[in-house]
Amino acid sequence: MNNFEYMQPESIEIASKFLKKNSSSYLYAGGTDILGMIKEDIISPKQLVNLKKINSLNYIKFDEKEGLKIGALTKLSEIEKSEIIKKSFNVLHQAVKEVATLQLRNVGTIGGNICQRPRCFYFRGDFDCIRKGGDTCFAVTGNSKYHCIIGGGPCYIVHPSDTAVALLALDAKFKISSEKSEKIISAREFFVLPDVDDQKENILKDGEILTEIIIPNSSNNISKFIKVKERGAWDFALVSIAGVFEIENKIIKSGKITFGGVAPIPWVEEKVNTGLTNFKIDENNIEKLSSLAFTKAEAMDKNSYKIPLAKNLIKKLLSEIVY
């Protein structure tokens, strides 16, 4: 672990200004990921900017018209406890419950969860991989069990966030603040593939901070999140799926399905979502729909199981929402 300068700004403006000036500084939200990365010498920041003094970013607000707004520094366990989220944005409630462990959720924030770094064991281990500025993705010839089946190259990570998968299904928007301005973009635009940037998982530039998550009101929806992992808690997804549907009499009027654990970003299979318009939920249709998914996936040596697994999750999701 290197020595670093530590600061606790009291406003977004000050934090942003500092970040812009010091490009090798890192943001500290809950700290559950970044402290481990510093201690294990995966990153060596010169400055660490702790946001914990910025009280204005810890809130959950709901308004029929404007929808749900969550401050980026809201603890995951606060979201888990929120009645309005449980009632009207249940897929997010379910996804948050799947994150790590209760102890980590008591410390980790929603903003941090969305911006966390990949768990690839080459990235986390002492391998000079592409994501750390090297020129090799070691998973390609090495162990690819936990790596992506689509959207990869030259780096083959999967995006680790559970909440991001649910937020994409909910058509969430993210507010990005910098010293002098704010902008709102869709969650989908936030994440970037490695062929665009192989060292970052999102579009945030120096000085930009994710400050708010905005979810349009969608209280009539039925939703579900399923995460397949190797152990009961404290594990990342092999594959996860989130679905948000408007259903009438076993017919999905419209719906959206998103995936985690399959790509370097939270993933959307367009053909599947197109197929969800006026979709009658029965075994045949489910089978047909799942066969449309991941036709372009390319598995490596050890991750081919993810293709049938992801297709199975479409079946599991659709058959479980009606019962």
- Inter-residue contact 143 to 299 (CB < 8 Å): no
Q: Is 299 an interacting residue with respect to another protein (CB under 8 A)?
A: yes
Q: Stretches 106-114, 159-167, 242-250, 298-306: which one binds another protein (CB under 8 A)?
A: 298-306
Q: Stretches 7-15, 47-55, 198-206, 225-233: which one binds another protein (CB under 8 A)?
A: 225-233
Helix (H) or strand (E) holding 17: helix 12-21
Q: Stretches 27-35, 164-172, 188-196, 297-305: which one binds another protein (CB under 8 A)?
A: 297-305
Residue of 31, 35, 192, 235 that binds another protein (CB under 8 A) = 235
Residue of 85, 272, 309, 318 that binds another protein (CB under 8 A) = 309
Q: Is 12 an interacting residue with respect to another protein (CB under 8 A)?
A: no
Q: Is 233 an interacting residue with respect to another protein (CB under 8 A)?
A: yes
Closest CA to 179 of 6, 15, 8: 15
- Inter-residue contact 238 to 261 (CB < 8 Å): yes
Smallest gap from Cβ 286 to another protein, in A, equals 11
Which residue matches tokens 């530039």?
205
Given the complex with another protein, which of 60 and 307 has the nearer CB atom? Answer: 307
Q: Is 287 an interacting residue with respect to another protein (CB under 8 A)?
A: no
Q: Is 31 an interacting residue with respect to another protein (CB under 8 A)?
A: no
Cα 216 → chain centroid: 18
- Residues numbered 155-174 forming contacts with another protein, rule: CB under 8 A: none
Q: How far apart are CA 105 and CA 99, in angstroms?
A: 7
3 state DSSP class of 265:
coil
Q: Is 170 exposed, middle or buried (0-12, 13-18, 19+ CB in 10 A)?
A: buried
Q: Is 312 an interacting residue with respect to another protein (CB under 8 A)?
A: yes
Residue of 70, 293, 307, 318 that binds another protein (CB under 8 A) = 307
Render 103-147 in DSSP notation, one character per residue: HHHTT-BHHHHHHPPP--HHHHTT--BGGGT-SB-TTTTS--TTS
State the residues that interact with another protein by CB under 8 A. 101, 119, 121-122, 124-127, 138, 141-143, 145, 226, 228, 230-235, 238, 299, 302-305, 307-309, 312-313, 315-316
